[in-house]
Amino acid sequence: MKILEIRTYRLDEFPAMLFLELQTDSGIVGISENCIGAVTIEAFIHESIAPRLLGQDPTNISLINEKLRNDFIGYSGSSISVRAHSSIDIALWDIFGKTLELPVYRALGGPVRESIETYNTCAGPGYARVSSNIERDRASQLGTNLGDSFEDLNMFLYDQSRLVNELGEMGFRALKVWPFDQAAVDSGGRFIEPEALAAGVQVIKNIRAAAGPEFKIMLEMHSLWSTSVALNIINATKEFDIYWYEDAIRIESSKALQQLRAKTDADLTFGETIGTKFEYQKLLDLKVIDHLMVDPLWAGGISESRKIIDLAHTYGILVSPHDCTGPIGLTAGFNLSLTNPNIEYQEFVRAYYFGWYQEIVDGLPEFRDGKLYPNEEPGLGLKFKSNFFNRSDLRVMISKL
């Protein structure tokens, strides 16, 4: 079997997203995606990856990954090359599973659990339609008012009781919110005005009052804050039993991470924005985290994410695959969640899953009572909807053997 074509797809409606197909001479097609910097990743795939990938046997995943990771520059962190290779790797695993007529999680060795618990990240349906990056100001995050269904970002800011009630009825027992982002945008993260701090704290207080003590609350901080202000926010919200503080500061400075760790015993999580096992080992060696995030779209695909999850296990750190990106990334993380005991949660965005994800693909993992369950379709179990290819805003690039 050989790879004959690489096809990439972009939609004007979702400028942050890149979708991908690897077409083979056997008729088997592997699909994938990436999120943020779509045009740049697309260009790299066709310019740099296509000459090395076309004509290869797609079931030789280890060999292909070795070829692709030997880029002359750029193979560190979650660079364009790493993210492009991540997309290719996920498509290769999709092909491999289809070749074996097995779901990816069975091709990876089989499940250690029948389902994985999710937490709801409280983005709304407009969050993915903003730009080729993810803006942090409130107006951009809310997007255009698209209706009343799953407007979770608006609800966590202004109607916390309704949000918690809706999530509880769907079986969720955990949620993630980010009420302080606008204050960081306003100040550059250097300080927070007392009124803004109080307003964000009130959001958390209202969520805790509505949810009760058993519901887990994760506080997303999007790497927007200086260390001193991050500590101020942590100290102001700790009484509400925050399960973890995510990306409280930027991750690049090991000294800043160690300073933050030294000044708080709050549970901290980092990791979704970095890539390759080498960068994750540097982070784990600092001993500053309590939970770890990994995104298969950004970290190196399914192959590298497996290594990262196993590496975290040796440090006693549980991992949660990231979402809030796209349906294929969610499904890749979910397959990893089924096969590895070191997974804590699968991140989940109900506004996406029941919204635009359904416009792009068929075959998503089944959501039921706060958990995701697999189907038994081979590969990732996904296929692009037939009308995906007829959209008026579809942009296509093709590299052929």
Please identify, in words, the CATH class of the domain defined by 3-102+384-400.
Answer: alpha beta
Please identify, in words, the CATH class of the domain defined by 106-380.
Answer: alpha beta
**pLDDT for res 141:** 77
Structure token digits, residue 324: 């809030």
Domain boundaries, the chain: 3-102+384-400, 106-380
The residue count of the chain comes to: 401
From edge to edge, which strands make up the β-sheet containing 29-35?
Answer: 29-35, 14-24, 3-11, 394-400
Structure token digits, residue 291: 């939970």
Backbone angles phi, psi at 62, to 5 degrees: -65, -45
**pLDDT for res 132:** 59
Helix (H, G, I), strand (E, B), or coil: what is residue 76?
A: coil
Structure token digits, residue 184: 């960081």
What's the burial of 39, exposed, middle or buried (CB within 10 Å: 0-12/13-18/19+)?
A: middle
Per-residue confidence in pLDDT tens, the chain, 401 aa: 999 999 999 999 999 999 999 999 999 999 999 999 999 999 999 999 999 999 999 999 999 999 999 888 888 889 999 999 999 999 999 999 999 999 999 999 999 999 999 999 999 988 867 665 667 777 777 776 556 689 999 999 999 999 999 999 999 999 999 999 999 999 999 999 999 999 999 999 999 999 999 999 999 999 999 999 999 999 999 999 999 999 999 999 999 999 999 999 999 999 999 999 999 999 999 999 999 999 999 999 999 999 999 999 999 999 999 999 999 999 999 999 999 999 999 999 999 999 999 999 999 999 999 999 999 999 999 999 999 999 999 999 999 99
Q: How many CB atoms lie within 10 A of CB 152?
A: 26
Closest CA to 210 of 157, 174, 154, 162: 162
